[in-house]
Amino acid sequence: MKLSNGSIGKMMAAIVLFAFTSTAFAQKPVLQKTFKDKAVKNLICGMENEVPAIVESSLFVTLELKDRFPDENYDKLLDKFNELANNGSTLPIRYKAQLTSLYFNYHDLFKEVNVSKEDPDQFYRMITEKIETNTLATK
């Protein structure tokens, strides 16, 4: 297949135009937030929700996050736990926020406690029992 001079010129112009636009519109890559950063942001939003069940669910999901990634920095979540423990809209939210805060602050104490999605309330009972056992043992 033979190309005419006009076709070659158009093809060259298209190649030059493509090369120019790809370099001209290239931008620096935007750094993606890590999964943990996104999770922390979403969990804080969940804990600010007006529906108590969503707040309680968000508290439990933070426990799962801490269980899977124990060495990460969760300062923003700790601040939110303390806020909920003092100003939560319901008594169960305040109580679970306190237990969640204890779990985060003293994670080594709760190593034997397994996070279970089947019954989040059972997990909170296990944290409570561990605290009671540890408190009675130190007296």
Q: Judge contact between 11 and 3, C-beta under 8 A.
A: yes
At 80, list the tokens: 């939110």
pTM as predicted: 0.71
How far apart CA 132 and CA 134 sit, in angstroms, is 5
Over residues 24-83, the pLDDT tens digits come to 556 655 555 676 778 889 999 999 999 999 999 999 999 988 888 888 888 899 999 999
